[in-house]
Structures are given as C-alpha cells and as structure tokens.
Amino acid sequence: MRIGELAARTGLSRDTLRFYERSGLLVGITRPNPANSYKDYAEANVQRLAVVACLKPLGFTLAECREILSVAMTDKGRRRVYAARKLAEVEERIRELEAARDHLREVLRVSASPSSSS
C-alpha cells in the first residue's frame, strides 16, 4: 500500500509516517513502479505501527520501539528483557512523581494556613 493508505489505516499523518520511516520503524518498503518514485509499504507495517502505538504510551521511545520490533518476532526472552527494564523505569518514575505529589500537597497544606507567605 502507499503512504496515504497506511496513514488512513493507522490514524497517523503522512508526515509522521515519513518521520517514523526515517527513525527506522518501517520495513518492506519497495518502489514497484520504475516510472514513478512512489513507495509501497508492506502490510506488516500496519501491525508494527500498532505495536508502536501500544508501546509509546508505556514510555518507550521510538528508538526503543525499533529495537523491540527488531527482535519481537524472533526472541521472546529479549522482548521480556526490554519490558522488564522499562517496567523498572516506570516504577521509578512513579516513585518520583509520588514524592512530587506529596511535596505539592504539603505546599498546599502550608499555604492554606493563615499567615506566612514567602
């Protein structure tokens, strides 16, 4: 399929897809017609982009998505390693944010009392 169809089927803009292509997230790109410069994107990219759409909200960068996709179909163990590593990062970030949250609550508690500003 061409980029417009891929965009329609994934909900991503053509520009974003071109950016993802530069980022190495897409595979199976050919130029079947020597008369023009149009590219053909393999069907597999729809699935790959679904994986990216799933991973991105989990905090994976595009580079990490690329790495994961490169082993995703062949190496379950390595895929687990990525997930486990990211899980640790996410848990650490949650702890940091909980500390920030408690700090902000303290700010609000203190600033609610009658006197004392800064």
The Cα 17–Cα 15 span in angstroms is: 5
5 binds, among DNA, a copy of itself, none (CB under 5 to 8 A by kind): DNA
4 binds, among a copy of itself, DNA, none (CB under 5 to 8 A by kind): DNA
81 binds, among DNA, a copy of itself, none (CB under 5 to 8 A by kind): none
Binds a copy of itself by CB under 8 A, chosen from 27, 29, 63, 94: 94
DSSP state of 30: E
Q: Does 93 bind a copy of itself (CB under 8 A)?
A: yes
Q: Does 42 bind a copy of itself (CB under 8 A)?
A: no
Q: Does 22 bind a copy of itself (CB under 8 A)?
A: no
- The strand pair at 29-30 and 40-41 is best described as antiparallel
Q: Dihedral of the CA atoms 37, 42, 45, 47 (nearest 10)?
A: 160
58 binds, among a copy of itself, DNA, none (CB under 5 to 8 A by kind): a copy of itself
Q: Does 58 bind a copy of itself (CB under 8 A)?
A: yes
The position carrying tokens 């009392």 is 113
The Cα 52–Cα 17 span in angstroms is: 12
Q: Is the dihedral of CA 58, 63, 64, 67 positive or negative?
A: positive
State which of positions 37-76 bind DNA (CB under 7 A).
Answer: 37-39, 56, 61-63
